[in-house]
Amino acid sequence: MAYRETSRVRERKQATRQAILNNALRMLNESGFSGLQMAALARQCQLATGTLYRYFSSKEALCTAVFEYATDIEIGRVAAQLQQPQLTAPEHIAAALTTFAKRALRAPIAAWALIAEPVEPAVNHARLRYREQYATLFSRAIDDGIAQQSLPPQNSTLSSHALVGAIAEALIGPLAQQQPQHLNQTIAAAVQFCLQAITAKPYPTIFPDQEC
């Protein structure tokens, strides 16, 4: 009789996979991709290293999965800000960028890992796909703003990619050397840069006190 995976076995495997990802994400928060070691992760998960390799066939496969897991969470938060009711397009975009920036600053090592840490090509490919997803979200918001005249006419594809590049780069370079008490100003300056770019007028550097 051929072996068939019961639904209980599938569920257990799924739970183990999730536990591995959660532990890996914790390690990413502490020391980036360079600190994510298969043997140490297996110990954290109370698994044999060989068992870990049955779930993720290589370190590159694990890193890609952790990258996607972590970035899905970040994109979900940004998307939620873009869907808040009763905001104009520039308000949506400011809220989304603020959330992105605040979350990046709360977990700067993970942010560096997700945005810019030198990684294997497979993770780099995933990065490019996800940057495209962020750009698509912003592009829709910009199109809404142009239609509702809360934003001036512009090439929304270009502006959305430029927004993604600007916010990502702004949060890895200067932030690395930032004092905690200056983080709010950094967020405000990054959001100001982006909003001025798409609205073509001064944007106040007031720090919006929002949940993220």
Residue ranges binding its own copies (CB under 8 A): 116, 118-122, 124-125, 128, 131-132, 135, 152, 154-155, 157-159, 161-170, 172-174, 185-186, 189-190, 192-194, 196-203
Residue 169 CB, shortest distance to its own copies, in Å, is: 3
* DSSP code at position 35: G
CB 64 within 8 A of CB 126: yes
Dist. CA 207–CA 209, nearest whole Å: 6
- Encoded amino acid at 8, one letter: R
Pick between residue 45 and residue 194 the one whose CB is nearest to its own copies: 194
CB 183 within 8 A of CB 105: yes
* DSSP code at position 207: -
Pick between residue 53 and residue 193 the one whose CB is nearest to its own copies: 193
Pick between residue 47 and residue 90 the one whose CB is nearest to its own copies: 90
Residue 161 CB, shortest distance to its own copies, in Å, is: 4
Residue 166 CB, shortest distance to its own copies, in Å, is: 4
Q: How far is CA 17 from CA 2, 4, 51, 56, 66, in A?
A: 24, 19, 11, 9, 11
Residue 52 CB, shortest distance to its own copies, in Å, is: 22
Dist. CA 41–CA 24, nearest whole Å: 7
Residue 94 CB, shortest distance to its own copies, in Å, is: 14
User: In 3-state terms, the chain is what percent helix, strand and coil (to 5)?
Assistant: 75, 0, 25
Alpha carbons within 13 angstroms on the beta-carbon side of residue 78 total 28
Rg for the chain (alpha carbons), in Å? 20
Pick between residue 16 and residue 37 the one whose CB is nearest to its own copies: 37
Residue 131 CB, shortest distance to its own copies, in Å, is: 7
Pick between residue 25 and residue 198 the one whose CB is nearest to its own copies: 198
* DSSP code at position 34: G
Pick between residue 162 and residue 212 the one whose CB is nearest to its own copies: 162
